[in-house]
């Protein structure tokens, strides 16, 4: 753990030296006799943990703590006092101190407290990294409290339990069908296996079969000499997600049907029968029943891929979720563009609620990205939104701010930028998901999160997770 940095701020040289000697084999330790000097150093080299003496000559320790928590809120601070001055200790804990030590310091106790604090810091960094990856990569379709999305969430929880039952996801463009597929995969018994997405519309029709089923060497002109695994093989013991399945050619549909019925297939140019166990989840924004009537989609394939159907509601069907989405996207793009937009004007809010959202959540995301980027003040105005006021009216639905079971995030406050609340919600979410996937086995859940059992139990109890 030498990559973790600890600042020791104490006016007694023997204390500084003793703490440094006890910790420097495991951590990078910097020592300071004055708070001012340490605060200046923090601007250049941010530590992970600070051991801060309450009685300093140049600045009261509580005052220094207040400055640290204001400037560097993610840095944990352990207060050090020469006697059990409970009044100062209580004040420090209320100000944001993580823990405290009483002089004379017992090195064994010091090491335990520091180790626990560093473990907390490590976990927060991991959660922050997951948060940033989530903010950058995904549109959370489960934000909101409308009955439409709550019904979908409840249904997804049930249908995900099967490891191989085919599922067809229906919905307009931009509603988050791929996220529904992801939710199904990670809640299924196949969660340890890969989730392999295939955009059937983006692959040339003469290549789709080789992409799905793979090929042997020399199968066709330009084939790799070693041959190639297909995406079906890549998804073994996991989930194959066929997005825009309505774009498959009739020939590819026939081969896919044979695989779905038997679990077996041949690579192009191959004679060896391959057998793969995978869950096939398909999605489309097209009307497959109309395509069947016109002979563009096989009826037998439709009934195989649509054993279970999940209909994703459009944004028009869940208008009460528009503002929660907006707050989330404001936070996301504040982070991306280093902006400080804190919300919407009343007129901008009304413009958003009155819009038809033909492009659904994707359209809303793109609009808020542009608005945050071009916003001149700290609130998005109607002009920043730029929606045509003549668009059809969508009936307003008040957002109560109360989220229910299963949602990824708690509601944000009016600033739309409650990162601390989001971080806590994410940590709770990942802990609950780990317990769900491990069927309540704490040791297994801790392994999934790469934590030791003791730390997992401590954090679970702290958050009150049953």
Q: What is the pLDDT of residues 125-144, one digit of tens each?
A: 776 665 454 444 444 446 66
Picking from 396, 373, 371, 376, the residue whose alpha carbon sits closest to that of residue 386 is 371
Picking from 312, 311, 235, the residue whose alpha carbon sits closest to that of residue 280 is 235
Tell the residue number behind the tokens 């054993």, with chain if given.
307
Instruction: Convert the pLDDT of each residue in 108-122 to its tens digit.
Output: 889 999 998 998 888
Q: What pLDDT score does 406 carry? A: 36
Average pLDDT, the chain: 82
Picking from 230, 168, 258, 242, the residue whose alpha carbon sits closest to that of residue 200 is 242
Determine what percent of the chain is predicted with pLDDT higher than 90. 41
Q: 29 in helix, strand or coil?
A: strand
Model confidence, pTM:
0.56
Report whether pLDDT(431) > 90.
no
Q: 282 in helix, strand or coil?
A: strand
Torsion of CA 251, 253, 254, 256, to 10 degrees: 130
Spatial contact of 79 and 54, defined as CB atoms under 8 Å apart: yes
CA–CA distance, 31 with 291 (Å, rounded to integer): 72
């Amino acid at each position: 753990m030498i990559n973790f940095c600890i600042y020791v701020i104490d006016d007694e040289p023997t204390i500084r030296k003793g703490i440094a000697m006890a910790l420097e084999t495991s951590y990078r330790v910097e020592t300071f006799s004055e708070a001012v000097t340490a605060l200046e150093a923090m601007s250049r080299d941010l530590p992970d943990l600070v051991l801060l003496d309450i009685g300093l000559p140049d600045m009261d320790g509580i005052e220094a703590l207040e400055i640290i928590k204001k400037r560097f809120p993610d840095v944990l601070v352990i207060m050090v006092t020469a006697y059990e001055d409970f009044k100062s200790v209580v004040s420090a804990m209320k100000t944001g101190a993580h823990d405290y030590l009483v002089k004379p310091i017992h090195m064994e106790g010091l090491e335990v407290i520091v180790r626990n604090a560093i473990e907390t810091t490590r976990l927060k960094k991991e959660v922050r990294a997951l948060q940033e990856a989530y903010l950058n990569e995904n549109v959370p379709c489960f934000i909101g409290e409308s009955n439409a999305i709550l019904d979908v969430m409840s249904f997804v929880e049930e249908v995900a339990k099967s490891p191989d039952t085919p599922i067809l996801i229906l919905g307009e463009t931009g509603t988050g069908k791929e996220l529904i597929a992801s939710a199904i995969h990670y809640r299924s018994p196949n969660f340890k296996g890969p989730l392999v997405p295939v955009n059937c519309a983006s692959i040339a029709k003469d290549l789709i079969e080789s992409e799905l089923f793979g090929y042997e060497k020399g199968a066709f002109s330009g084939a790799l000499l070693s041959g190639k695994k297909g995406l079906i093989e890549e998804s073994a013991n996991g989930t194959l997600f066929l997005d825009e399945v309505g774009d498959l050619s009739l020939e590819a549909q026939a081969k896919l049907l044979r695989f779905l019925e038997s679990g077996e297939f041949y690579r192009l140019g191959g004679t060896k029968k391959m057998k793969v166990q995978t869950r096939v989840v398909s999605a489309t924004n097209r009307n497959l029943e109309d395509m069947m009537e016109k002979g563009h989609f096989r009826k037998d394939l439709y009934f195989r891929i649509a054993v279970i159907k999940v209909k994703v509601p459009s944004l028009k069907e869940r208008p009460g979720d528009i503002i929660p989405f907006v707050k989330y996207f404001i936070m996301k793009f504040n982070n991306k563009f280093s902006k400080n937009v804190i919300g919407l004007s009343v007129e901008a809010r009304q413009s958003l609620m009155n819009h038809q959202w033909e492009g659904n959540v994707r359209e809303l995301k793109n609009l808020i990205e542009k608005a945050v980027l071009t916003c001149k003040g700290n609130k998005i105005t109607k002009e920043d939104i730029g929606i045509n006021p003549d668009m059809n009216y969508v009936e307003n639905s008040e957002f109560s701010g109360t989220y229910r079971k299963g949602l990824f995030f708690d509601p944000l406050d009016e600033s739309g930028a409650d990162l601390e609340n989001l971080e806590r919600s994410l940590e709770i979410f990942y802990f609950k998901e780990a317990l769900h996937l491990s069927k309540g086995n704490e040791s297994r859940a801790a392994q999934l999160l790469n934590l030791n059992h003791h730390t997992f139990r401590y954090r679970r109890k702290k958050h009150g997770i049953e």
